[in-house]
Structure 1
Amino acid sequence: MPKDFHPDFGLTAEDYTRHRAGFSPEVVRRLVSLGTEVRERDVVDLGTGTGSLARLFARAGARVTGLDPAAPLLDQARELDREAGVEITYRVATAEETGLPSASFDIVSAGQCWHWFDAPKATVEVRRLLRPGGHVVIAHFDWLPLPGNVVAATEQLINTYNPAWTMGGGTGLYPRWLTDLATEGFSSIETFSFDAGVPYTPQAWIGRIRASAGVGASLAQEKVDKFSAELAGVLRDRFPGDVLHIPHRTWAVVAAKPSAG
């Protein structure tokens, strides 16, 4: 990320809660198939945001703690937990300095956020938090810009309003995270991915984009409003219809704590 680009997702907490699609239960099934059991395990979810990945693990029977530096997002997470009927412990903290006891978790997870961390420091902290035999899980759930599709048109508009945003054109794959883990000695590194379409109404898609780093989390409200109006015009003129089918890719890496340390 550019050093001068520091989005604050707390500014867009409401849109973040309403419009960001969550991780699929298929993530848990894939983890179990790779030998990473979730049920009755202690999990800490770094950069939890509104708790999407944390709730997925809680629903699967894990005891979950969620950390995030943005208190407004944690407030939204608690409300979503009440609606879902799950209990998760939240605290304001960063991935690099969690303040949690060493060797106190079976799984350390990070959903849709590893790119915001100081990776060397965060990886050391993950290693410290894990019990012997524990696993780290880094997961992403990304929209996919394809030639001529609504995602590509949306990303072009984001760049027009916010040239500092450089996260467009993604493939939903993050090989650098494997290097981060291998450098710190993590072993048995495996990845999986699967694609799915997510339906959005035009207004919901506009809300989803407002909740992104390049718009609601980093632009002044006046520019956010102008952006939203212009995106509405793009959708009306180029992608008419009541439902937009947005291609997404889920990708995750799972690795085991080093035997020493």
Structure 2
Amino acid sequence: MTNPDRFLGRADVYASARPTYPPALGEWLVGLGLLSGRVADVGAGTGLFTRLLLTHGSGPAFAVDAVEPNPEMRAQLETALAQETLAGRLRFHNGTSEATSLDSASVSLITAAQAAHWFSPVSSVQEFRRVLAPGGQILLVWNDWRGVDTPFNADYRAVVTHFSREDGELISRVPEQELPALMPGGFETRIFNNPIPFTRERLRALAGSVSYLPSPSDPGFAAVAQQLDVAFETHSAGDHVTLTYRTHAYLGRLD
């Protein structure tokens, strides 16, 4: 199974359940002057991070090239952000980190949110060198609930660990000590708090969007949902629980 195929049949739950990104991240990028030129959002998925770029980006040269190989996710993205396309601020591409289909030296910033742990570093860096304009930078971002010590985070982790079909710890994001393979010119780190409220339905959808758990159409998903309901009932305040994420942002260069 290819990495894009891992998410076939999960685009709807991915779009409805995955966490958004904190506005403070967008404001940081604006303060650095990084959202006034052309941006390639690689592995754009259903457009959760693409939206943050479009919300904070401005200026006559600003636009986003959303690169996504999964046809179901790309369709979600195209439908949800059709007005941005009509406004000339967004283009879609069927591509990967290794073959983006973008023109050479065409973007000033490459972003990858919740995606770079699927990239092949050597061939991806080769492609990034081709499409980045001189002086361009790379931003890798992950929302991660692991390592945040709250009672609900612990119970959610227990459910995920019990039903995981592979080592989810390894594929949640690239370990920091391995990031130089993707950003050989060095990088800086920023971490943003990102608590996200989940209803019972959204929590189930979140689990259904995770590639190493049973999909919502899998008979095994019923057991996952049952255990999530137990955790929800234990920790809910009103109609929701809070899964506390930290947003890890790594801004670097190729040279």
TM-score of the alignment, normalized to the shorter chain, above 0.5: yes
Maintained 8 Å contact 1:7/1:213:
no
Maintained 8 Å contact 1:55/1:86:
no
- Counterparts of 1:86 and 1:14, CA distance in 2: 21
Deviation string, structure 1 residues 232-251 (Cα, Å, up to 9, x no partner): 13322x32442211111111
Maintained 8 Å contact 1:53/1:111:
yes
Superposition RMSD on alpha carbons, in Å? 2.7
- Counterparts of 1:257 and 1:94, CA distance in 2: 18
- Counterparts of 2:161 and 2:7, CA distance in 1: 18
Question: Which of these residues, 52, 69, 74, is aligned with residue 56 of structure 1?
Answer: 52
Other structure's SS at 1:86 match: helix
**What's the offset of the Cα at 1:13?**
0.7
- Counterparts of 1:191 and 1:147, CA distance in 2: 21
Maintained 8 Å contact 1:54/1:65:
no
Gaps of 5+ in 2: none
Alignment of 1:193 onto 2:183: no
The correspondence of residues 99-118 of structure 1 with structure 2, limited to 5 A, is: 99-118=101-120
Maintained 8 Å contact 1:44/1:107:
yes
- Counterparts of 1:111 and 1:32, CA distance in 2: 17
What is residue 175 of structure 1 aligned with on the other side? 176
Other structure's SS at 1:93 match: coil
The correspondence of residues 50-129 of structure 1 with structure 2, limited to 5 A, is: 50-59=46-55, 60-61=57-58, 62-82=62-82, 85-87=83-85, 88-129=90-131
What is residue 137 of structure 2 aligned with on the other side? 135
Q: Return closer, same or farther for 1:201/1:182 CA change in 2, 3 Å cut-off.
A: closer
- Counterparts of 1:4 and 1:167, CA distance in 2: 19
Q: What amino acid sits opposite 2:74 in the alignment?
A: L
Q: Return closer, same or farther for 1:71/1:7 CA change in 2, 3 Å cut-off.
A: closer
Q: Return closer, same or farther for 1:5/1:65 CA change in 2, 3 Å cut-off.
A: closer
**What's the offset of the Cα at 1:161?**
2.3
- Counterparts of 1:145 and 1:156, CA distance in 2: 13
Alignment of 1:230 onto 2:236: no
Question: Which of these residues, 233, 245, 248, is aligned with residue 248 of structure 1?
Answer: 245
Question: Which of these residues, 154, 163, 166, is aligned with residue 164 of structure 1?
Answer: 166
Other structure's SS at 2:230 match: helix
Percent identity over the alignment is 21
Alignment of 1:25 onto 2:26: no
Other structure's SS at 1:167 match: helix
What is residue 239 of structure 1 aligned with on the other side? 235
Q: What amino acid sits opposite 1:124 in the alignment?
A: Q
- Counterparts of 1:173 and 1:25, CA distance in 2: 23
Other structure's SS at 1:160 match: helix
**What's the offset of the Cα at 1:169?**
11
* TM-score, with structure 1 as normaliser: 0.83
Other structure's SS at 2:105 match: coil
**What's the offset of the Cα at 1:168?**
7.6
Q: Return closer, same or farther for 1:7/1:147 CA change in 2, 3 Å cut-off.
A: farther
Maintained 8 Å contact 2:26/2:53:
yes
Q: Return closer, same or farther for 1:21/1:130 CA change in 2, 3 Å cut-off.
A: same
- Counterparts of 1:51 and 1:114, CA distance in 2: 15
Maintained 8 Å contact 1:142/1:250:
yes
